[in-house]
Amino acid sequence: MDLVWQGIAEAFRLLLAGDPEVIRITVLTLKVSGTATLISLCIGIPLGALLALSRFPGRKFFMSLVNMGMGLPPVVAGLWITIFLWRNGPLGFFNLMYTPAAMIIAQAVIASPIITGISAAAFQQVSGKLRLQIMALGATRWQYVLLLVKEVRLSLLAAVMAGFGGVISEVGASTMVGQNVLGRTRVLTTATVMEVSKGNFDIAIALSVILMVLAYGVTLTLTLAQQRGNRS
pLDDT tens figures, 23-65: 899 999 999 999 999 999 999 999 999 999 888 899 999 999 9
Q: Higher confidence at residue 26 or residue 2?
A: 26
User: In angstroms, rounded to a whole number, what is the distance separating the alpha carbons of residues 214 and 176?
Assistant: 23
pLDDT tens figures, 211-225: 999 999 999 998 998
* DSSP calls for 19-56: -HHHHHHHHHHHHHHHHHHHHHHHHHHHHHHHHHH---
- Which of 162, 153, 161, 35 is closest to 100 using CA atoms? 35
User: In angstroms, rounded to a whole number, what is the distance separating the alpha carbons of residues 89 and 104?
Assistant: 18
Mean pLDDT of the chain, nearest integer: 89
CB atoms near residue 148 (< 10 Å): 20
| pLDDT score recorded for residue 37 | 97
**The domain 2-231 is classified under which CATH number: 1.10.3720.10, 1.10.150.20, 3.40.50.2300, 1.10.10.60?**
1.10.3720.10
Residue 232 has pLDDT above 60, yes or no: no
Give me the torsion for CA of 127, 133, 136, 138, rounded to 10°: -100
| pLDDT score recorded for residue 229 | 63
CB 80 within 8 A of CB 105: no
Indicate the pLDDT class of residue 14, thresholds 50, 70 and 90. confident
Q: What contacts 148, CB < 8 A, 6 or more positions away?
A: 49, 53, 123, 126, 131, 134
pLDDT tens figures, 142-167: 788 888 888 898 899 999 999 999 99
Domain positions in the chain: 2-231
